[in-house]
Amino acid sequence: MITYNTPLTLYSLDIAGLSLELGSGGSISMPEALKNGRANYILFEELVRKLTGLKKAKGSDHVDASGRTYEQKSFVDEVLDPAGDIFRTSSSSTFGANNKGPEVKRLLERDDYVAALKLCKETGYNKNDFYIYTNTGQYEVSVPFRYLIVPTSSVLSLISQTDPRLISRSEILSLATAHVEIVLP
């Protein structure tokens, strides 16, 4: 089986839809499951594992045969939201009311970026060897599914200098050194 897992290669795959195959031989189309973040999160993680040969991990989303860990993050594709360049890349525990979210917010309000970055590293960045960025935020089948594997060191070099939880979609995509269209039977 061919695996599509070379870092800094932007992979794309045309997706026609999502259907639930029934025991009776019929099927039910489920387009909202691809668009809704709650539903598509697990679906696209599984798709990435099938395409890359990675395995499900504990603590991170994926792990390779060498034990390197991969965290998967989504952004809204530029075709669907040309202006939406900045998106969340740190651990979900650093946002909102989640675990460390209030603490990171307080640190940033006090202009203590260094302490906020340290907390973001402790809760996620230091736990992952790679990040896999997918264009699956608010996904629509009119846009090919795309993903890019980025070493964490590159992610850290691109995170926002005002909020270490955020990163630029255009800067991440500019790291791609090749583009491969995946065609499956």
How far apart are the C-alpha atoms of 159 and 43, rounded to whole Å?
27
Quote the pLDDT of residue 110: 97
Quote the pLDDT of residue 37: 84
Q: Give the CA distances from residue 7 to residues 3, 95, 119, 122, 125, in Å, rounded to whole numbers and listed in that order.
A: 12, 27, 26, 24, 17
pLDDT tens digit string along 59-88?
899 999 999 999 999 999 999 999 999 999
Task: Please check whether residue 75 is in contact with residue 87, taking contact to mean a CB–CB distance below 8 angstroms.
Answer: yes
| In the predicted structure, residue 36 carries a pLDDT above the cut 90 | no
Token duo for residue 8: 């800094």
Q: Which domains does the chain have, with CATH numbers?
A: 9-90+125-182 (3.40.210)
Quote the pLDDT of residue 179: 98
pLDDT band per the 50, 70, 90 thresholds, residue 160: very high
How far apart are the C-alpha atoms of 43 and 88, rounded to whole Å?
20
Q: Where are the beta strands (DSSP E) in 38-144?
A: 55-56, 62-63, 69-76, 86-88, 130-137
